[in-house]
Amino acid sequence: MAVDVRRGAPAPATTPAAAPAGAPAGPRRRRATWVYLVLAVGLVVMLAPFLWMVLGSFKPEAELQRVPPTWWPETPSLGNYRQLFDRLDFPRFFANSVLVAVAVTAGNLVFCSMVGYALAKLDFAGKRLLFGLVLAMLMVPGVVTFVPLFVLVSNLGLVNTYPGLILPFLVTPLGVFLMRQFISGLPDELIEAARIDGAGEWRIFSRVIVPLCGPALATLSILTFLSSWNNFLWPLVVAQSEDKYTLPVALALYSIGQNATRYGLLLAGSVVVILPVIALFVALQRYFVQGIATTGIK
Amino acid sequence: MAAVPAPAREGGGTRSGSAAVRRRHTLAAWMFALPFMVLFLVFMAGPVLASLTMSFTDLTSRDLRDPLAVNLVGLENYTKLLSDERFLRSAFNTAYFVVVGIPLTMGLALAVAVALNSGIDRFRTFFRVGFYTPVVTSIVAVAVVWRFLLQPDSGLLNTVLGWVGIDGPNWLQSTTWAMPSLIAMAAWRNLGTLMVIFLAGLQTIPRDLHEQAMVDGAGAWRRFRSITLPLLRPTLLFGAVLTGVGYLQFFEEPFVMTKGGPLDHTLSTAFFTYNQFGFGNYSYAAAASYLLFLAIVVLTLVQFRLLRSRT
């Protein structure tokens, strides 16, 4: 019977912070301490590689090979970075990565929101076919398409060009899916009102829908920019001369080529690839988490 | 004239009106979809079919300029693959990576998510951001850093292991340890995605359920087994499929860290495909990639059955 009485006391029991009836505060606090301890150890393991990377990038080559390793750089220097930017063409690779990512993001924002609107708010012949196609392609991995894609791109004469790097990623099924889900949630009354005022579909899309899509567009741009920035297989296949390399391609090829053991250089290169993205992530983490929760992609 | 019943006329009017609206919408919708459709058909759907077709031919890089010289060879590429020892090795490696990697990543992610959801109120965002950070980083860059961490003598891992008296192996050069090293790195990099998904799932579980069970005397482990896990099943399924699809395609890790070695012990099927492409064996590469695709579809279906049927 006591059980029933306690079940009947909803207000304090449902507030997350309140200790549940019957649980003494002592063990609860002790448990919280354990949870914090485990999480803190986990966090150290998660972030140690990044710390080790940044510290290592300021160490000269000789110091990096020392056994046991030094923790703090004994003679911190920018030598690795200087070499990366002066002797190797990292400014170029960086610019290529930015150019490709910006173009891919812009394309996705425009084209995916257009299809997203049609799929969410217009009733038309072929709608289910189109949406089915989009869903089916969500599953297809890049490794399945890259061979024929290369044959196609090489027949179009686009191997080792920027369009060759950009065009295959200008739209993504995922972007369409995300925009459709978001626009479906917008109220139909807005669109009806605009139609009564005599607005055409394009005008409704550009003046009514797009201004309301801020959060979805923010999530989409971050996710697209990120996947383009980190994309590897396709740029590795298509960029054949150094002047078209993106950052991951350059870093990977240096790391298995003649610079394979020059860790100072490679770590500095990794910093250049990773740090801008981490900065972006920490600044905009709200949108990342939203995107993951709604679409489940990374 | 007035004999026509009003409702019928009204109904007819709306019908032809809605048909006109639908026609107008159809035109507008396809105009909206046009740029997407063109790019989508040319660069995505087209290549998926072309890849399948290609796998039944003997296309190589030499045929690029003259596609008409290509012959149909039926299932020859597939039968050749199934007796190609390197391909079979790569299939085994990929299966190893997936079978060990999925439960490991899911287990770790679930532990972190449950810890974050256990009623602690401070630093939650801080922890969440920290555990998620590796997900946003480039696998190539991360693989370079891990190669450095795993160096036999001057590496961070073996130094730390040395403190507790363990003489760590040369991780990436060992046929035993190379694959576990890649799996550990993949788990480290990907657990953040699953953590966020699991956290969202955990937050849909009503707190009252736990409290009632507590009152009935159920311990933390019992409540986890009997309440959390069953209610989280759809979320776990989603996470398993997502991770599985990604892990089956692993490529950057061996490319940067081991070049597929030692002795092909980390050669993945995606890496095998890339190598065959590099040798110019396009149709052979396409066939290998289709088998990988098939594996992805099968794994997804199996996971659906496993996690669905036990509800």
The CA distance from A33 to B221, in Å, is 18
Burial class (CB in 10 A: 0-12, 13-18, 19+), B180: middle
- Residues A146, A237 contacting (CB under 8 angstroms): yes
Task: Compute the nearest-CA separation of B309 from chain A (Å).
Answer: 22
Tell me what percent of the residues of chain A surpass a pLDDT of 70: 87
Query: In sequence order, which residues have a C-beta less than 8 Å from that of residue A18 and are 6 or more positions away?
Result: A12
Inter-chain CB proximity A176 and B115 less than 8 Å: no
Please indicate, yes or no, whether residues A11 and A47 belong to a single structural domain of this protein. Answer: yes
DSSP secondary structure of B60-99: -GGGSS-GGG--B-TTHHHHHHHT-HHHHHHHHHHHHHHH
**Start-to-end C-alpha separation, chain A:** 49
The answer on A204 and A146 residing in a single domain is yes
Written as one letter, the residue type at A20 is P
- Using the structure block, give the residue that is written with the tokens 């810890």: B115
Q: Among candidates B285, B248, B277, B246, which has minimal Cα distance to B52? A: B285
Q: Structural domain tally of chain A?
A: 2
- Mean pLDDT, range B132-148, rounded to an integer: 91
- Architecture (CATH level 2) of domain B78-309: Orthogonal Bundle (1.10)
pLDDT at res. A4: 35
Among A140, A144, A196, most B C-beta atoms within 10 A, so best to mutate, is A144
Are residues B36 and A288, on separate chains, in Cβ contact within 8 Å?
Answer: no
What does the alpha-carbon distance between residue A52 and residue A69 come to, in Å, rounded to a whole number?
A: 11
Within an 8 Å CB–CB cutoff, is residue B58 touching chain A? no
**Minimal Cα–Cα distance from B293 to chain A, Å?**
7
B57 SS3 class: strand
Instruction: Write out the two tokens for B299.
Output: 């794994």
Chain B interface includes A67 (CB < 8 A):
yes
pLDDT on residue B5: 41
Question: CB contact, 8 Å: A16 with chain B?
Answer: yes
Q: How confident is the model at residue B218 (pLDDT cuts 50, 70, 90)?
A: confident
- Higher pLDDT, residue A61 or A120: A120
pLDDT score, position A216: 87
Residue A265 pLDDT grade (very low, low, confident, very high; cuts 50, 70, 90): confident
Does the pLDDT of residue A73 top 70, yes or no? yes
Residues 6+ apart with CB under 8 A from A49: B134, B142, B145, B146, B149, B188
Q: Specify whether A105 is located in the same domain as A164.
A: yes
Scan residues 98-157 of B and list those with Cβ closer than 8 Å to A.
112, 115-116, 118-121, 123, 125, 127-149, 153-156
Mark yes or no for CB contact B118/A65 under 8 Å. no
Identify whether A228 is part of a domain: yes
**Nearest CA among B245, B293, B296 for reference residue A148:** B293
Q: Considering only CA atoms, which of B18, B39, B43 is closest in space to residue A114?
A: B39
pLDDT at B109: 94
Whole-number pLDDT of residue A290? 65
Residues 82-101 on A with a CB inside 8 Å of B are none
Residue among A43, A152, A247 whose CB faces B127 most closely = A43
Q: Which tops the pLDDT comparison, A294 or A275?
A: A275
Whether residue B50 and residue A152 make contact (CB cut-off 8 A), yes or no, is yes
What's the pLDDT score for residue B206?
85
CB contact under 8 A, B293 and A141: yes
Residues in chain B within 8 Å Cβ distance of A122: 25-26, 28-29, 32
Count other Cβ atoms within 10 Å, centred on residue A203.
Answer: 13
Assess contact for A239 and A148: CB atoms under 8 A.
Answer: no
d(CA B309, CA B303): 10
* CATH number of the domain enclosing A277: 1.10.3720.10
Listed by start position, the domains of chain B span 6-54, 78-309
- pTM comes to 0.84
Size of interface A-B (CB pairs under 8 A): 304
Inter-chain residue contact A144 with B36, CB threshold 8 Å? no
Residues 100-129 of A with CB under 8 A from B: 110-112, 114-115, 117-119, 122-127
Measured from the Cβ of residue B64, the count of other Cβ atoms closer than 10 Å reads: 14
Residue A37 lies in a domain: yes
Q: What is the mean pLDDT of residues A148-163?
A: 90
Q: Which residues of B touch A71 (CB under 8 A)?
A: none
- Nearest by CB to A149, which of B47, B118, B292? B47
Mean pLDDT for chain B overall: 85
**Which of A15-19, A74-78, B177-181 has the least mean pLDDT?**
A15-19
Residues A131, A233, single domain; the answer is: yes
- For B244-268, the pLDDT digits (tens) are 888 999 998 999 889 887 899 899 9
A164 lies in the same domain as A205: yes
Torsions phi, psi of A170, nearest 5?
A: -65, -25
**Nearest-neighbour CA in chain B from A57: distance (Å):** 10
CB contact burial A25-53 (16+ within 10 A = b; e otherwise): eeeeeeeeeebeeebeebbeebeebbebb
Choose, out of B21, B40, B281, the residue to mutate when testing the contact with A (most A CBs < 10 Å): B40
Here the tokens at position A204 are 């409704």
A188 in the same domain as A108: yes
| Residues 220-239 of chain A whose Cβ lies under 8 A from any Cβ of chain B | 226, 229-230, 232-233, 237
Tell me what pLDDT residue B10 has.
38
Is residue A97 located within the same domain as residue A140? yes
Closest CA to B135 of A174, A271, A282, A251: A282
Contact B5, A103 (CB under 8 A): no
> Per-residue pLDDT tens for A232-250?
999 999 999 989 999 999 9
Range of the domain at A53: 2-57
Half-sphere exposure of A220 (CA within 13 A, CB side): 29
Residue A268 corresponds to which tokens in the numbers above? Answer: 């500095």
pLDDT averaged over every residue in chain A: 83
Domain assignment present for A63: no
Residues 6+ away with beta carbon under 8 Å from A123: B21, B22, B25
Asked whether residue A265 falls in the same domain as residue A173, the answer is yes
CA distances in angstroms from B89 to A87, A233, B78, B94, B176, listed in the order given: 40, 21, 15, 9, 14
